[in-house]
């Protein structure tokens, strides 16, 4: 295993999309002895299906596939939630490329072009730093406070923000509300069944981002937790205001979500801390109670789209 990869740790996973047996075997014979795990796909369709279910450290795709060009495939791969901007994609070709093809490849999201015959030492030396940089970026995301799909807080960032807001609530005696949104019934099952970390599609995430920002105040904090739940923490909002906020969020979501799946219907749960509540507010408990209210709204037997958590 190369020094660059060894410093990051773990076995790097390569997704190789190519229908030529000789080229595939040649690349595998170079990479496997260097510690890479190689998954193969023979068409663009197979490659997209595999890439949507795993998180490869590197993709190598042929310039010409039976069902799609490598450039078009690269652009479609870049739309998948599992393929982050830090994931290197290289296109290889059996012949010389035109300058326009190279430019189109870069514009589609490719990091470079390769042409056989492959020099083993050169190929390994070239790929090692790319994979190491990608995995280093993944590690940074895992310890950051931002959800890479939406740009909102992730669970770590949200917990930190809730703790700050809760502390201010305890000092000032102001109310505090937490609203959690998530899909109902079959849509929730479909989203949660995926093994991919970001089952909410980029299209839905984009539309929800617009909805949530437009329906909240600058002082509110927005986050994404778990696989498909979105959280709004609203300081200074009491129980009455919480219900209005939830209604506004669902109304705008109904109007703004441009998804082909008509079954994707959002529901909401909320929990409000009263201004005169005497005990200190625990951030974990705020999120837990709002999420429990959401689960009641998500229940197949549920009639109401908005549920509140009742302490008594």
Mean pLDDT of the chain: 82
The pTM of this model reads 0.55
Fold of 3-142: Rossmann fold (3.40.50)
Closest CA to 161 of 242, 244, 224: 224
Give the pLDDT confidence score for residue 24 in this predicted structure: 87
For the chain, residues classed under CATH 3.30.70.270 are 155-308
- The angle subtended at Cα 16 by Cα 15 and Cα 22, nearest 5°, is 155
Cis ω for the linkage preceding 255 (within 30 of 0): no
Average pLDDT over residues 227-236: 89
Residue 200: pLDDT over 90? no
Give the pLDDT confidence score for residue 302 in this predicted structure: 63
Tens digit of each residue's pLDDT (9 = 90 or more) over 155-173:
888 888 888 888 777 777 7
Average pLDDT over residues 294-301: 84
Tens digit of each residue's pLDDT (9 = 90 or more) over 70-105:
999 999 998 887 888 889 999 988 777 788 888 999
Give the pLDDT confidence score for residue 312 in this predicted structure: 53
Residue 2: pLDDT over 70? no
Give the pLDDT confidence score for residue 223 in this predicted structure: 92
For the chain, residues classed under CATH 3.40.50.2300 are 3-142
Give the pLDDT confidence score for residue 260 in this predicted structure: 45
Average pLDDT over residues 140-163: 81
Residue 280: pLDDT over 60? no
Give the pLDDT confidence score for residue 258 in this predicted structure: 59
Give the pLDDT confidence score for residue 195 in this predicted structure: 35
The hierarchical CATH code for the domain 155-308 is 3.30.70.270
């Amino acid at each position: 295993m190369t020094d660059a990869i060894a410093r990051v740790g773990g076995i790097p996973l390569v997704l190789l999309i190519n229908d030529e047996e000789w080229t595939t075997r040649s690349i595998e014979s170079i990479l496997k002895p260097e510690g890479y795990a190689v998954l193969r796909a023979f068409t663009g369709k197979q490659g997209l299906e595999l890439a949507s279910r795993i998180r490869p450290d590197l993709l190598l795709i042929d310039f010409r596939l039976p069902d799609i060009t490598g450039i078009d495939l690269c652009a479609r791969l870049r739309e998948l939630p599992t393929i982050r901007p830090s994931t290197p994609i290289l296109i290889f070709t059996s012949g010389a490329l035109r300058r326009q093809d190279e430019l189109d490849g870069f514009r589609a999201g490719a990091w470079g072009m390769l042409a056989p015959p492959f020099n083993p030492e050169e190929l390994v030396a070239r790929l090692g730093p790319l994979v190491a940089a990608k995995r280093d970026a993944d590690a940074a995301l895992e310890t950051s406070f931002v959800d890479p799909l939406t740009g909102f807080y992730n669970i770590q960032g949200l917990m930190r923000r809730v703790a700050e807001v809760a502390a201010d609530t305890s000092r000032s005696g102001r109310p505090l509300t937490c609203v959690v949104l998530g899909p109902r019934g079959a849509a929730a099952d479909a989203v949660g069944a995926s093994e991919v970390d970001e089952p909410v599609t980029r299209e839905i995430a984009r539309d929800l981002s617009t909805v949530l920002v437009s329906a909240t105040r600058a002082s509110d904090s927005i986050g994404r937790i778990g696989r498909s739940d979105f959280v709004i923490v609203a300081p200074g909002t009491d129980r009455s205001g919480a219900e209005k906020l939830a209604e506004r969020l669902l109304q705008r979501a109904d109007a703004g979500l441009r998804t082909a799946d008509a079954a994707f219907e959002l529901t909401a749960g909320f929990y409000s801390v009263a201004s005169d509540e005497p005990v200190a507010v625990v951030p974990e408990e705020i999120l837990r109670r709002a999420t429990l209210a959401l689960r009641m709204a998500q229940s197949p037997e549920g009639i109401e789209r908005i549920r509140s958590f009742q302490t008594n």
